[in-house]
Amino acid sequence: MFAFCGGIDLMPYPAISALPTAPSRLGDPANFISESLAFLDAQVGFVTQCNAVATYLNAAKFDPFDWGNLSAISGSSPVYITNFIDAPPTVPPTSVFQLVEAVDGILASMVAFVPDANIVGAWIDTLADPAAPVVVDPSRPAVNTVSPTPLRNDGQLAFESKAISFYASARLFSTSMQSFADYVGTFSSGYEDWNGIDVVYDEQDDWGFINE
C-alpha cells in the first residue's frame, strides 16, 4: 500500500500473474500440445487480471497540484513497456509456416509483456491519489480491456473468432497502457510548467508603462 497526502491507497495496483511457458510449434514441437493447453487455460486469468488493471487505471485519480513532484516535463513516463504484445496478422498468411510463426511470436510476446506491465502499473500506482480532485480531461487516454479468450471446449468457428478478438484486444491493451503511463508522466508535472512565462514585469522594468 502507498501513502498519499496523509492518506492510504487501499486498492493497490492489481498485478498480472506471470504466464506459463509460451508454447512454440516451431521451437519446441515435442511439448507444444501440453504447453498450449496450459497456456490456453492461463489466458482466462490473464483476461480477468488485465481487465482489473484497466478498470483500476481508468478510475485512478492524480493530484494536479502536487508541488512535491516538481520535475522537468518529459512528456512520458520514466518507465516503459518495451515488450508489447505482437499484433495478429491483418491478412491471412501466405503459408502455414508464416501463420505458425506469427502465433508463436504472439504467445512469446505475451509472456514478456507481463513483467513490463507490472513495472509500469506499479509506477503509476505511486502517483495515484484517491483523495485527489476529479479532473475532467478530454485528452486523457483510456486503457483498453481484453476480450474473452477462446476456451478448450469451443467449437472451431467460435474458437477462431474469439482468438482473433482476444489477441487483437490484448495488443491494444498493451499499447494503451503505455499511452496512459505517458499521460500520467505528463500530467504529474504539466501543472507545474513555468516555461510558458516569457516575460516577468517588476519594479526594474520599463517605468514608461506608468501613466499616472
**Which residue type occupies 186?**
T
Question: Lowest mean pLDDT: which of 22-31, 155-164, 182-191?
Answer: 182-191
Residue predicted with more confidence, 11 or 117: 117
Question: Is 171 domain-assigned?
Answer: yes
Distance CA 16, CA 50 (A): 7
Instruction: Find where cell 489477441 sits.
Output: 167
Question: Is 60 domain-assigned?
Answer: yes
Question: Is 135 domain-assigned?
Answer: yes
Question: Is 119 domain-assigned?
Answer: yes
- pLDDT band for 187, please (50, 70, 90 cuts): confident
Among 137, 24, 119, CA closest to 78: 119
Question: Is 182 domain-assigned?
Answer: yes
Q: Rounded to 5 degrees, what angle do the CA atoms 56, 59, 62 make?
A: 105
Question: Is 66 domain-assigned?
Answer: yes
Distance CA 151, CA 138 (A): 37
- pLDDT band for 66, please (50, 70, 90 cuts): low
Question: Is 17 domain-assigned?
Answer: no
Q: Which domain range does residue 36 map to?
A: 29-190
Q: Domain total for the chain?
A: 1
Cell (9 digits) for 132: 485527489
Question: Is 120 domain-assigned?
Answer: yes
What is the predicted pLDDT for the residue at 23? 96
* Helix and strand counts by DSSP (H, E) for the chain: 3, 2
- pLDDT band for 147, please (50, 70, 90 cuts): very high
What is the predicted pLDDT for the residue at 4? 38
User: What does the pLDDT look like over 69-93, one tens digit per residue?
Assistant: 544 444 557 889 999 999 988 776 6
- pLDDT band for 153, please (50, 70, 90 cuts): very high
What is the predicted pLDDT for the residue at 12? 86
